[in-house]
């Protein structure tokens, strides 16, 4: 979504030499700036919303009651957009953390309980730090994947009929919506999930890039079961629609306080 927004704004700036793109620390922090408009669009990658800390013994702890220090840089922003989801469902070797922590102590809890704890930590920070008369806060819903029976390989048209097989736990979606509803800060819940579920044709599939930023080799493209990317999205493409929805919200007046 950030890449799409940066491209849209870059295309609209008359003097593109008066723009800057800053890419720091392997794309975990990126900024697009349009200097003539005093406009900065910043991206901070934190897939759990809470802090993932590498300990002295090289293990990784997901600290459910702590937020990333970078979040302090968002204070005073005109617009904040958050989302989380996919990384919470990873298991085995794909799981990003070795253990969970709360209050500096290792804890054992189910995935849904940990997810709820992280959302509560985030919600408390928003309610305590954000002035809704100054800053609009959005929470974008989960971006769908198309795998298994919804596989994206060789798809060239949106889904037009039939049911879409479940791909993300409804219980986690319920936790997100529950926490947003009980916050005192107004949160715009930007639900892009259903419209995106229909776009089975909008993924890069075998035309994705590797972690090294290179296209798949001919041999890799001949193994779509292994290499098809049915999680990310092509640009131009579906994320541009998400940003059209965002613009629609932004032109509305701020809620009165």
Q: pLDDT for 172-207, tens place per residue?
A: 999 999 999 999 999 999 999 999 999 999 999 999
Residue-level pLDDT at 61 = 97
Q: Is 255 among the domain residues?
A: no
Please give the model's pTM, rounded to 2 decimal places. 0.93
Shared domain for 70 and 14, answered yes or no, is no
Q: Is 256 among the domain residues?
A: no
Shared domain for 80 and 185, answered yes or no, is yes
Residue-level pLDDT at 115 = 98
Shared domain for 60 and 11, answered yes or no, is no
Shared domain for 63 and 28, answered yes or no, is no
Range of the domain at 222: 46-250
Shared domain for 150 and 245, answered yes or no, is yes
| Confidence tier at 212 by pLDDT (50, 70, 90) | confident
pLDDT digits (tens, 9 = 90+) for 84-128: 999 999 999 999 999 999 999 999 999 999 999 999 999 999 999
Count of domains forming the chain: 2
| Confidence tier at 213 by pLDDT (50, 70, 90) | confident
What rounded mean pLDDT belongs to the chain? 93
Shared domain for 138 and 91, answered yes or no, is yes
Shared domain for 210 and 246, answered yes or no, is yes
pLDDT digits (tens, 9 = 90+) for 35-69: 999 999 999 999 999 999 999 899 999 999 999 99
Shared domain for 71 and 35, answered yes or no, is no
Q: Is 98 among the domain residues?
A: yes
HSE-CB of 79 using CA atoms within 13 angstroms: 18
Which of 46, 41, 38, 35 minimizes the C-alpha distance to 5?
41
**Would you say residue 28 has pLDDT above 90?**
no
| Residue 168 and residue 89 in contact, taking contact as beta carbons nearer than 8 Å | yes
**What's the sign of the alpha-carbon dihedral 243, 249, 254, 255?**
negative
């Amino acid at each position: 979504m950030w890449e799409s927004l940066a491209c849209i704004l870059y295309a609209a700036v008359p003097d593109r030499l008066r723009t800057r793109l800053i890419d720091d620390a392997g794309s975990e922090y990126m900024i697009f700036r349009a200097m003539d408009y005093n406009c900065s669009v910043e991206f901070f990658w934190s897939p759990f919303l809470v802090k993932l800390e590498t300990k002295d013994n090289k293990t990784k702890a997901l600290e459910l009651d702590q937020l990333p220090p970078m979040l302090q840089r968002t204070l005073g922003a005109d617009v904040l957009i958050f989302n989380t989801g996919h990384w919470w469902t990873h298991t085995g070797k794909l799981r990003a953390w070795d253990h969970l922590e709360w209050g500096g102590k290792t804890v054992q809890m189910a995935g849904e309980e940990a997810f709820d704890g992280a959302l509560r930590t985030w919600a408390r920070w928003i309610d305590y730090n954000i002035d809704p008369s100054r800053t609009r806060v959005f929470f974008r819903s989960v971006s769908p994947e198309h795998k298994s029976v919804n596989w994206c390989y060789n798809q060239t048209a949106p889904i037009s009929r039939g049911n879409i097989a479940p791909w993300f736990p409804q219980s986690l979606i319920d936790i997100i919506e529950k926490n947003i509803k009980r916050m005192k800060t107004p949160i715009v819940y930007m639900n892009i999930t259903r419209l995106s579920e229909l776009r089975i044709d909008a993924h890069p599939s075998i035309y994705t890039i590797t972690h090294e930023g290179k296209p798949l080799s001919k041999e890799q493209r001949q193994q779509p079961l292994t290499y098809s990317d049915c999680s990310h999205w092509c640009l131009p493409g579906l994320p541009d629609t998400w940003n059209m929805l965002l613009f629609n919200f932004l032109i509305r007046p701020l809620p009165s306080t």
